[in-house]
Structure 1
Amino acid sequence: MSIGKAEYLRTLTVSTLQNRSVPVGTELDGSSPPSIFIGSAGYPRVYAGPLITPEHGDTGIYDTPESWIPAQKSQEEIIGYRLSLVRGKRLVETTDIHSRFVSQLQEIVLSDTSVESEAAFLEVPTGFSLSEEHAPFGPSASIDTLSCEPVRWNHHLERVFYDTDLLARDAVINLHQEKVPFSAIQKAFSAGTMGNGKKRHLVP
């Protein structure tokens, strides 16, 4: 008997959770792989925010699916990575891409490396998310403040960001031809960093 992806993930995650505990309080000092999450519920007013792990340094493996198979990562390791990502969330308009908070999210996804980050939450992050629509992630909570260290942007993503006349579909094609990882393109697209300047918006 076959089971759906979501149910399979839940079954696999039970054993992972039994052996893994990531202590998270109302303040988190760690690293973003870099990664963000843009929700879809309530569109065009959605929850958006960074994904941050309590680990420091290079945490790119946590959110780079292209590297999991070449690195021979086990299913348990991958689930462990994903459940270590703490999601900060704030309700934003998908068209409000010039706000300070959304600009911070854009800076995260445009980064060429992991981003040292500090976040303060309005409550202790709890739970985890398993879905057929997105990769799993760990506890979440409403975010109060976010601080990120300055980073070097990926030069391919940076060029697309500043080209406000380049259509989003052409930007995606160009980035793929330049061998930018699909996951990086997807996150940059979701953060509204490409396309016609007047039409840019967050994409769940």
Structure 2
Amino acid sequence: MPKIPAELCIKCKGHKYLCGLSICPILERFKNVTSTVSKIVINNKIEGSTPPSILIGEKNYPKVSLVYNIPPGVIGEEAKDYENPEGWWGRKSLNDIISIRSSLISTILGGLNVRDPYKLYEKEISLAGISEKPVVSETDSSGKIVPKLKFDGILIPRGPSLTVQSIKVSENPKVPRTIQKLIFDDLKAEESVIKLYLDNENYYRIISAFSLGFLGLKRNRKLVPTRWSITAVDQIVGNYLLDNIRTLDTIDNVEYYYGSYLGNHFHIILYPSSHSSTWIEIWHPLSLWTTELIISELSENYWGEYDSLDGGYIAARFSIIEKLYKRRRQAGIIIIREITKDYFAPVGNWHIRETVKRALENKPKTFNTIEESLKYVNTNLEANDKINLLGLKSIKKIIGQRRIDEFLFK
């Protein structure tokens, strides 16, 4: 097999199959090396509380599978920690997260028609996925358990899997009133997502509600693969907030923020400008997708047009636009993500959203010009001696555009 270019792997992150293969060889190798489950003994049934943790797969769409995650023997509030991105941040290491997720059994219901989400409503299976508290559930364990972990670049890792015929929800799910009302309303899905966000509903629960077919006009409701739902909700809310700040004043200075977690370093620069955004990823040798230093660039213009769609960028973009919305300001955005060899396993793009959000809570360092801020970032990169940020195509474009603007409006 010919060598797959690292640049392609960086763009793909294991789920777009840009190389033409039906599986990602990097993830397959990683799963085989890190699978910690060799033997699972369960008597007759699997019982435990889903954290809640339910996702919809995309394989064979529009016939899809539902993955219902259960930590065997774990009942009640303790189950929450098995899927808690906001609570994990800053507290759990990469190894901790892998260990937690490997303790879940992914029970799989296959052959679901995406246009019939009501079948899951009736059995309260999907309701368990939007519950405010863990829900006790059980399923027959007579099938064959596949003792492998499942990873990709957008979703939280999954534990060993088991295909089942049915799942029984043994406890009444506690559905938030905000979502409960929308289940009976006939409101477009995008409008429902925005309403839930403005009502301060838990962000990850909004994603689950969107994925499990609770939102939208009743005649159009359907199950949406969770991977698609994550990026869709980030886009929907991000675009709504962006539309509300386009006419506002810009920030006054060039501001720099920094955040780091799980071997990922985020350098964020906001500068006085109408909206435009640049996403730069610097992948170190022996980090997840590459054995060489790779730099990828993505740009978004004022009108919201991207070079390409990247779920990690959309997650980071959401957190920044949310912060600007709360400040009642707009700005140009540069996000530089440096991924080191310490990020050896993909755990989903939640950590991008959460790290950027927390970075923006810090007091910024200010600069007079974008060039000064980029020089500062360059000296603080782990790969500082191998990279010239000012020489990147996307950065040259930003600096060139600003100089023209300054010349024209003097």
Tell me which interval the TM-score lies in, with the shorter structure as reference length: 0.7 to 0.9
Give the counterpart of 1:193 among 200, 207, 214.
Answer: 214
Q: Does 1:96 align with 2:147?
A: no
Find the counterpart in structure 2 of residue 68 from structure 1: 88
CA positional deviation for 1:13: 8.9
* SS state at 2:75 partner: coil
Runs of 4+ in structure 1 over 3 Å off: 1-16, 20-26, 100-103
Aligned residues of 2:45 and 2:142 also touching (Cα < 8 A): no
* SS state at 1:17 partner: coil
Q: Could you say if the C-alpha distance between residues 151 and 102 of structure 1 is closer, same or farther in structure 2, counting changes exceeding 3 Å?
A: closer
Q: Could you say if the C-alpha distance between residues 142 and 15 of structure 1 is closer, same or farther in structure 2, counting changes exceeding 3 Å?
A: closer
* CA deviation vs aligned residue, 1:104-157 (integer Å, no higher than 9, x gap): 332112311000111114513222211224221111122122111113212222
CA positional deviation for 1:10: 6.8
Q: Distance in 1 between matches of 2:27 and 2:190?
A: 34
Relative to the length of structure 1, the TM-score reads: 0.84
Higher relative contact order (CA 8 A, sep 6+): 1
Structure 1 letter corresponding to 2:157: P
* CA deviation vs aligned residue, 1:16-69 (integer Å, no higher than 9, x gap): 728x97644662011101121211011100111311111211212212212211
Aligned residues of 2:35 and 2:149 also touching (Cα < 8 A): no
| Alignment length (residue pairs) | 201
Aligned residues of 2:125 and 2:168 also touching (Cα < 8 A): no
Find the counterpart in structure 2 of residue 125 from structure 1: 145
Q: Distance in 2 between matches of 1:102 and 1:131?
A: 31
Find the counterpart in structure 2 of residue 109 from structure 1: 129
Give the counterpart of 2:201 among 180, 186, 189.
Answer: 180
Q: Does 1:45 align with 2:63?
A: yes
* SS state at 1:89 partner: strand
Q: Could you say if the C-alpha distance between residues 170 and 188 of structure 1 is closer, same or farther in structure 2, counting changes exceeding 3 Å?
A: same
Q: Give the alignment's Cα RMSD to 1 decimal.
A: 2.8
CA positional deviation for 1:80: 1.5
Give the counterpart of 2:97 among 78, 98, 104.
Answer: 78
Q: Distance in 2 between matches of 1:193 and 1:119?
A: 24
* SS state at 2:167 partner: strand
Q: Could you say if the C-alpha distance between residues 11 and 128 of structure 1 is closer, same or farther in structure 2, counting changes exceeding 3 Å?
A: closer
Aligned residues of 1:24 and 1:124 also touching (Cα < 8 A): no
CA positional deviation for 1:102: 7.0
Structure showing greater radius of gyration is 2
Relative to the length of structure 2, the TM-score reads: 0.44
Q: Distance in 2 between matches of 1:181 and 1:13?
A: 35
Find the counterpart in structure 1 of residue 183 from structure 2: 161
Segments of structure 2 that go 5 or more residues without pairing to the other structure are: 1-5, 15-25, 226-410
Work out the percentage of aligned pairs sharing the same amino acid: 27
Give the counterpart of 2:172 among 150, 169, 173.
Answer: 150
Find the counterpart in structure 1 of residue 51 from structure 2: 33
Segments of structure 1 that go 5 or more residues without pairing to the other structure are: none
Q: Distance in 2 between matches of 1:128 and 1:115?
A: 23
CA positional deviation for 1:9: 10
Q: Could you say if the C-alpha distance between residues 60 and 21 of structure 1 is closer, same or farther in structure 2, counting changes exceeding 3 Å?
A: farther
Q: Distance in 2 between matches of 1:100 and 1:32?
A: 15
* SS state at 2:204 partner: helix
* SS state at 1:144 partner: coil
Q: Distance in 1 between matches of 2:191 and 2:108?
A: 30
Aligned residues of 2:143 and 2:162 also touching (Cα < 8 A): yes
